[in-house]
Structure 1
């Protein structure tokens, strides 16, 4: 069967730099840093005091007050972002076959804050006193389930749990699901809310997090002084749609999704394979999946760019392996310098930023970049974004467990 085209017709996000797409994209263009001292709990007894939190957000402003009490924070983010994406798409569900509408939304950790609070309460009152809403507000797939219920999507509903690659896996899986004829519409992306004492403590013990107190030198991808990532939270949800279906209803189109690569390092539980071998294969797969897009046609890569020593040098090596000399001509930036690392939500939010980069012809900066690293010698768009004529852009996500996911987007010129 001939492969069908897939386009983005709606987007929604809540993240450390904005409560919607317009606000977030303007903040990214302005180089706003969303990293600040932790406010969700008292972190004074821990080594890490900074995070990229969603700020000044009242879920009851967009969600039912009763339902909010029974939803994990990660599900609140996801449903709120999905509501924005659906409104943006102007999709009329009364005119749709709901069994041909899918939901693929990732969360790496799910409702860990609920687990922490319930554990504390049950140690005092007994474990049979656990909330009946504990399990359904905690399990990682519930954000996807909540979205399906909210909008009546009755097609496949699933949750890729692939750590930091999850959001991109969700977008890529949704792309293929539509392209191969299983659905006309999909809500996809990722969500995460794990700025909690246990999450912060666990990542700190792994020496994965930055432990300083200066937000401007905390998440500094590709900088020689990088020493760990900053934990972020939020959600990014996209409406993907089969091209003819979108055109028939007169939908606006942001960008086209044209390729997807997913690989595993099969090397180490946290460290990337030497030379970024798995990530390189994923990027190459995405180009081939798009019908063999030549590497020199790619203008921009929204890098995984976590600000850890191993990731950033490994990803740089992977880009060189795939793009050769063209690696030095294309732009590579990490918006995690602004949003921190949102784990399972990262790929969803970064897919939105990549689509907006193509639409507006604007490459986001890697902010707070100061000290060059000989192992990271590409054009990381330091400190100031720039206007550019973009045609193809790649979004990379690389996760613990060796998971690699890369999605290739094309500028919409219809």
Structure 2
């Protein structure tokens, strides 16, 4: 079988706040949510900035995922039930784990079981009433994109009619310390994807949920699809534990799979690419090379932007949040800019939509993500 896979509902949260309007104001306005971190002491670290929502604590990952999932299901008008799967990209809730290390900060009612990644899928499913399969994906910055891809496969092949896909990460001290010790953070508190002078990434709060359905069943119940997922791909280049392949072979392979599945191997009908764009020295030139491999002579004509200059890097949530941002670009007819861009880099010579949103008629859009270990994903959306 090769059934159509459509999106019928979504919800999103970033450092700009909850909901599509907050995302429009921040991400599509070319703004940055990056600000001094107040939810833990950054004195031991080189960096002190992240894209948080300003709350004194990160709150519960469970609550963030469940809220987004509930809002997405409500927007879809499709009560989750016996045959609805839940697929979540997450590393679990580190705040619960670190609470055991620092007993003074440990909150009563928090249990070790509720902090592990697999439990997040159960908690989301219980919240929305979904009783189908439950899966959690933990492969770093492609985790929630892989969740979406796996759901698309299950729906397209007739094994599911509907799925709730979600991804979440809230800035906390554990991962902040790891990235800081690895010297991955921007030195001056600004994220500059694809720009000369970029010096690294910064983290951000993020959560998103998407309701996917088979096109025939969605229309039979009277739902109006927002978009269709017409292509997807995954690939591993296994070049290095942390650095991407210099020519982004895995990313190019994943994108090529997505385009071939859609019957557009040269990408001639793609109007926009939401790039991974981490603003590191190695990622952005590699990604540029990979996208040039994908689009060939059309590469100069395809707008490509990274939204991490606005939202920060959302780790396991990146795939789901950036999927939503890509879909919003299609629905609104506006390209989200690459916030933080300051000057051209000859190694990143794409049309990166610098700093200002751009009106555009987007029929098809590609969103790509990459992760440590050489994991790469691509998802191709088409407006409905």
* Smaller-chain TM-score bracket: over 0.9
- Which structure 2 residues correspond to residues 307-322 of structure 1 after superposition, within 5 A? 307-322=279-294
Query: In structure 2, do the counterparts of structure 1 residues 186 and 57 end up closer, same or farther at CA, with 3 Å as the change threshold?
Result: farther
The alpha-carbon deviation at position 51 of structure 1 amounts to: 0.5
Note if 1:84 corresponds to 2:67: no
The alpha-carbon deviation at position 141 of structure 1 amounts to: 2.0
Deviations 1:99-152 (A, max 9, x none): 321111101x32112211211229x9xxxx997743222101222111111122
Within 1, Cα distance between the matches of 2:264 and 2:300? 21
Within 2, Cα distance between the matches of 1:133 and 1:43? 24
Deviations 1:304-359 (A, max 9, x none): 00111111111100000111111100000011110000000011111101111111
- 1:49–1:211 Cα contact (<8 Å) kept: no
The alpha-carbon deviation at position 4 of structure 1 amounts to: 0.2
- 1:118–1:134 Cα contact (<8 Å) kept: no
* Root-mean-square deviation (Å): 2.0
Aligned to 2:170, which of 174, 189, 193?
193
Provide the secondary structure at the position in 2 that maps to 1:7: strand
- Which structure 2 residues correspond to residues 182-331 of structure 1 after superposition, within 5 A? 182-196=159-173, 198-213=174-189, 218-331=190-303
Aligned to 1:111, which of 74, 93, 96?
93
Mind listing any 5+ residue stretches in structure 1 that lack a counterpart? 60-71
Within 1, Cα distance between the matches of 2:107 and 2:306? 41
- 1:111–1:194 Cα contact (<8 Å) kept: no
| Counterpart for residue 74 of structure 1 | 61
- Which structure 2 residues correspond to residues 155-194 of structure 1 after superposition, within 5 A? 155-194=132-171
| Counterpart for residue 130 of structure 2 | 153
- 1:20–1:84 Cα contact (<8 Å) kept: no
Number of equivalences: 384
Note if 1:102 corresponds to 2:76: no
The alpha-carbon deviation at position 272 of structure 1 amounts to: 0.7
- 2:276–2:368 Cα contact (<8 Å) kept: yes
Within 1, Cα distance between the matches of 2:130 and 2:305? 35
Within 2, Cα distance between the matches of 1:79 and 1:92? 14
- 1:110–1:193 Cα contact (<8 Å) kept: no
- 2:50–2:171 Cα contact (<8 Å) kept: no
Within 2, Cα distance between the matches of 1:121 and 1:209? 29
The alpha-carbon deviation at position 255 of structure 1 amounts to: 0.8
Mind listing any 5+ residue stretches in structure 2 that lack a counterpart? none
Deviations 1:347-393 (A, max 9, x none): 11111011111111111100121111110000000011111111110
Provide the secondary structure at the position in 1 that maps to 2:232: strand
- 2:69–2:166 Cα contact (<8 Å) kept: no
| Counterpart for residue 25 of structure 1 | 24
Deviations 1:55-104 (A, max 9, x none): 34999xxxxxxxxxxxx7222211111111111111134xxxx3321111
Within 1, Cα distance between the matches of 2:63 and 2:196? 37
The alpha-carbon deviation at position 194 of structure 1 amounts to: 3.6
Provide the secondary structure at the position in 1 that maps to 2:41: coil
Within 2, Cα distance between the matches of 1:289 and 1:142? 33
- Which structure 2 residues correspond to residues 6-21 of structure 1 after superposition, within 5 A? 6-21=5-20
| Counterpart for residue 33 of structure 2 | 34
Instruction: Give TM-score scaled by structure 2 length.
Output: 0.95
The alpha-carbon deviation at position 295 of structure 1 amounts to: 1.1
Within 1, Cα distance between the matches of 2:107 and 2:55? 29
Which 10-residue stretch deviates more, 268-277 or 339-348? 268-277
Within 1, Cα distance between the matches of 2:160 and 2:93? 29
Within 1, Cα distance between the matches of 2:238 and 2:278? 20
- 2:96–2:110 Cα contact (<8 Å) kept: no
| Counterpart for residue 345 of structure 1 | 317
